[in-house]
Amino acid sequence: MGTNGDNAGSEPPTSPTATVSNAGVPPSPQTTAEATEKTKNVNQEIPGDGTFLVGREIRPGTYRSAGPAEGGSPCYWARLKGATGTDGETVANGAGKGQATVTVLDTDKAFQTTGCQTWKRLG
């Protein structure tokens, strides 16, 4: 009995496999209807309270609020040249008990609002 190169009685050889690693590769962003709607609303509306970065969270443009939110406090807004909370960052501000209109410029760093109804982008 000689050997003729057959692998009789043994398992067939396996094919080589490649291992693919995704290490260091960020996952693909997922877009959902809710995320799309939030982005759309953030670009068109500004909630009544908070500090919002221009160009990132809100777009430059003219916004209008119907006035103070429920509670009686005046509606306060400020256009800011910085977002660190230090003195001297206010470019312009205002407060009142009636309707307010503000133009946020692309040179502003942030827009701050407190006690106001939702700001809606005009045009």
Instruction: Compute the distance between CA of residue 46 and CA of residue 108 in angstroms, rounded to an integer.
Output: 15
Q: Are 111 and 77 in contact (CB under 8 A)?
A: yes
Residue 23 lies in a domain: no
Contact 79, 102 (CB under 8 A): yes
Nearest-Å Rg of the Cα atoms of the chain is: 29
On the question of pLDDT at 82 being above 90, the answer is yes
Total tally of structural domains belonging to the chain: 1
Residue 1 lies in a domain: no
Q: Compare 108 and 85 and report the one with higher pLDDT.
A: 108
Is 11 part of a structural domain of the chain? no
Q: Who has greater pLDDT, 53 or 123?
A: 53
Q: Is residue 63 part of a domain?
A: yes
Predicted confidence band at 85 (pLDDT cuts at 50, 70, 90)?
A: confident
Instruction: Give me the domain span that covers residue 63.
Output: 46-121
DSSP state string for 8-40: TTSPPPPPP------TTPPPPPP--HHHHHHHH
Please check whether residue 32 lies inside any domain of the structure: no
User: Residue 107 above 50 pLDDT?
Assistant: yes
Alpha helices in 1-123 (DSSP H): 33-44
> Is the per-residue pLDDT at 31 higher than 60?
no
Which carries the bigger pLDDT value, residue 19 or residue 111? 111
3-state DSSP call for residue 39? helix
Question: Domain for residue 10, yes or no?
Answer: no
Question: Does residue 98 sit within a domain?
Answer: yes
Residue 113 lies in a domain: yes
CA–CA distance, 78 with 71 (Å, rounded to integer): 20
Angle 60-52-95 from CA coordinates, rounded to 5°:
85
Please state, rounded to an integer, the average pLDDT across all residues of the chain.
78
- Enter the pTM of the model: 0.65
Instruction: Report the pLDDT value the prediction gives residue 12, as an integer from 0 to 100.
Output: 55
